[in-house]
Structure 1
Amino acid sequence: MNKRWTPHATVATIVVRDDRFLMVEELSGGEAVFNQPAGHIEAGETVEAAAIRETLEETGWHVAITGLLGLYTYTAPANGITYHRYCLIGEATNHDPNAELDEGIIGPQWLTIEELRASKRLRSPMVLTCAEDYISGRHYPLDIITEHP
């Protein structure tokens, strides 16, 4: 019997302020890399709630989700896992400097698109693709996502 293919459902949040993207500097495979605030959707959690939670846990920033940027897929060569990423757009509302960040997080960074384009430390190709799509004006309303309880 063949093993069923099961992609991982994840979220990422694009937050831009003063032409800078909120990024997470984190350890992955022993290396410091940059990613949008991102992570797995937990059982019973909505896509929007997951994005809000992951952004707070990884950056200390509270966000209001305003739209959907898109759905992205990527199969990581390091582990062969396929990730389905819902990339949401959020606005930073306030920062909690005392927030306890997830294990492996070095800290939040605000980077320009030029810094992202030049970086050799992006966690996956989705990081730059999502930032470029945001710059291009790609935005969808949140009601494009229908979730049944």
Structure 2
Amino acid sequence: MTVWKPHVTVAAVVERANRFLMVEETAEGRRVLNQPAGHLEPGESLLEAMVRETREETGWEVEGLALVGIYRWPPHPNHSKTFLRVTFAARALSHNPHQALDKGILGTHWLTRDELTAAVEWLRSPLVLQSATDYLAGRRYPLELFRDLE
């Protein structure tokens, strides 16, 4: 019997002055743009994972505001994994410019929706633009949807 399990990831849509916080990183040997994002680690909630990943990848402390969406990205020719991505809207609180960023992070940028659209070939996945689009369309769901049971 084959055991299948999706890769659970989290991401943050952080908007400030009509610009989105983006990470420039190296993934699978190429430079890409992504929202601050990463894998859920054992023992943390989805919200905690989003806050941690944003801090580790950008140096920004953020506060989760709402759920933007839950996205399934199935396998295709460029990858053989299924990803289940939980994307949060988050507010930037403070920045630590001395924070060492995760390995593979080349820098951070604040980009407009138009700049993201113009750079579509540089986006790490279709999840990036879809998350920004959903955020701009006003898709927000309360954080109370999440329940962590002990």
Both structures adopt the same fold (TM-score exceeding 0.5):
yes
Provide the residue aligned with 2:147 in structure 1.
146
Q: CA deviation at 1:32?
A: 0.8
**2:84 is aligned with 1:84:** yes
**Correspondence 1:19-98 to 2 at 5 A:** 19-77=18-76, 78-98=78-98
Q: CA deviation at 1:97?
A: 0.2
How far apart in 2 are the matches of 1:22 and 1:76? Answer: 27
Q: CA deviation at 1:30?
A: 1.4
Provide the residue aligned with 1:121 in structure 2.
122
Aligned-pair Cα RMSD in Å: 0.9
Secondary structure of residue in 2 paired with 1:88: strand
How far apart in 2 are the matches of 1:118 and 1:43? Answer: 37
Provide the residue aligned with 1:18 in structure 2.
17
Cα deviations across residues 79-123 of structure 1 (Å, max 9, x unaligned)?
A: 311110010111000000000100000011100000111112000
How far apart in 2 are the matches of 1:75 and 1:103? Answer: 26
TM-score with structure 2 setting the length = 0.96
How far apart in 2 are the matches of 1:88 and 1:136? Answer: 14
TM-score with structure 1 setting the length = 0.96
Choose 94-103 or 72-81, whichever is displaced more: 72-81
Q: CA deviation at 1:75?
A: 2.5
**Long gaps (5+) in structure 1:** none
Aligned length: 148
**Long gaps (5+) in structure 2:** none
**2:94 is aligned with 1:99:** no
How far apart in 1 are the matches of 2:10 and 2:148? Answer: 15
How far apart in 2 are the matches of 1:4 and 1:30? Answer: 28
Provide the residue aligned with 1:112 in structure 2.
112
Q: Name segments (4+ residues, structure 1) moved above 6 Å.
A: none
**Sequence identity percentage:** 47
